[in-house]
């Protein structure tokens, strides 16, 4: 499969591009940044908020599917958050429609439901409950995927990623960790499962202490193999553990992240 990966120079992007290539896919990278040293696949420096720039990439490259990872990974004001997550997604979806690309995998986030109080295992049917403007941007992007799936038949899988790190670094991450290898497994499953329509899955490893239901991912063929528990004896208890366990979004749900929606940064 020939896959356009946005945010290809980012933390997840570098792992996913290499992982998909290792698994026999052809990758086309797109990022604001230049191609990392040593990588050899086609590369486009472009801003995904610019529909003309995005269309130009699709005009030039044959693409079978999109993995949209680009986006600011932290909190911002509302206009920036919507641009970073919703506008980029819309520009890519419009290009998909224009070029008959019918597979779209999206790096959403647990912060789309981050303000949900932590109780039982959370399913994908929980109502959108963002914890930040970052989360609002992810909810808006997921709404666009749903709209384009209904209108144009695009198969759109939204992966609500937890904590993508080489290793878990806190007690919360023993529940929310997504290992690099499982990240690649998840993206490949979402890209290749036949006819998922619009689907939401949680992007975490097979963590013993998982907070979110892995079953919707397994239905799509995402079978995680790693477990954060392997690292549990290296994680010291922290002063913020209790607060970070109160809501799905951990620290993003706390007062440190409160800000006015339209305040200039």
Per-residue contact track with ligand 15L, 231 to 260, x per CB under 6 A? -------------------x----------
- Give the per-residue contact string, 20-49, with ligand 15L (x = CB under 6 A; - = no): ------------------------------
Nearest Cα neighbor of 137 from 198, 79, 69, 94 is 79
Nearer to ligand 15L, 76 or 95 (CB): 76
Q: Which of 44, 103, 111, 129 binds ligand 15L (CB under 6 A)?
A: 111
If the CB atoms of residues 51 and 251 are measured against ligand 15L, the closer one turns out to be 251
All residues at 6 or more sequence positions from 232 whose CB lies less than 8 Å from its CB, including other chains: 174
Among 14, 88, 109, 175, indicate the residue that binds ligand 15L (CB under 6 A).
109
Question: How far is 148 from 156, CA to CA, in rounded Å?
Answer: 8
Q: What are phi and psi of 81, to 5 degrees?
A: -65, -40
**Site residues for ligand 15L, window 71-100 (CB under 6 A)?**
73-74
Catalytic residue of the set 106, 134, 222, 257: 134
Ranges within 187-216 binding ligand 15L (CB under 6 A): none
Examine the residue annotation and report whether 258 is marked as an active-site residue of this protein.
Answer: no
Question: How does 104-143 read in b/e, with b if 16+ C-beta sit within 10 Å?
Answer: bbbbbbbbbbbbbebeeebebeeeebbbbbbbbbbbbbbe
Report the residue count for the chain. 265
At which residue do the structure tokens 């940064």 appear?
Answer: 265
Residue range at the interface with ligand 15L (CB under 6 A); choices 76-84, 104-112, 234-242, 257-265: 104-112
Does 158 interact with ligand 15L (rule: CB under 6 A)? no
The CA-atom distances, in angstroms, between 214 and each of 65, 122, 165, 176, 207 are 24, 9, 18, 11, 10
Residue with Cβ nearer ligand 15L (75 or 155): 75
3-state DSSP percent of the chain in helix, strand and coil, to 5: 40, 15, 40
| 170 near ligand 15L (CB under 6 A) | no
Residue 49, CB-side half-sphere exposure with 13 Å CA sphere: 12
The number of residues that bind ligand 15L (CB under 6 A) is 10
Active site residues: 134
Enumerate binding residues for ligand 15L (CB under 6 A).
73-74, 109-111, 161-163, 176, 250
């Amino acid at each position: 499969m020939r896959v356009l990966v946005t945010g290809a120079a980012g933390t997840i992007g570098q792992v996913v591009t290499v992982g998909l290539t290792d698994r026999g896919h052809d990758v086309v990278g797109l990022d604001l940044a230049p191609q990392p040293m040593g990588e050899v696949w086609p590369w486009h420096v472009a801003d995904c908020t610019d529909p003309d720039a995005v269309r130009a990439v699709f005009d030039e490259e044959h693409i079978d599917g999109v993995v949209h990872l680009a986006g600011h990974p932290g909190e911002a004001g509302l206009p920036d958050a919507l641009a970073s997550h919703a506008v980029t997604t819309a520009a890519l979806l419009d290009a998909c429609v224009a070029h008959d690309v019918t597979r779209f995998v999206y790096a959403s986030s647990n912060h789309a439901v981050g303000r949900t109080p932590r109780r039982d295992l959370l399913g994908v049917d929980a109502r959108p409950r963002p914890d930040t403007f970052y989360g609002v941007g992810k909810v808006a992007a997921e709404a666009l995927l749903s709209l384009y799936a209904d209108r144009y038949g695009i198969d759109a899988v939204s992966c609500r990623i937890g904590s993508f790190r080489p290793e878990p670094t806190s007690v919360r991450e023993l529940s929310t960790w997504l290992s690099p290898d499982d990240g690649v497994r998840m993206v490949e499953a979402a890209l290749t499962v036949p006819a998922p329509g619009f689907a939401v899955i949680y992007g975490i490893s097979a963590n013993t202490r998982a907070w979110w239901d892995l079953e919707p991912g397994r239905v799509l063929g995402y079978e995680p193999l790693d477990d954060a528990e392997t690292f549990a004896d290296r994680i010291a208890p922290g002063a913020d553990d209790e607060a970070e366990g109160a809501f799905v979004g951990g620290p993003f749900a706390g007062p440190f992240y409160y800000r006015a929606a339209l305040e200039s940064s």
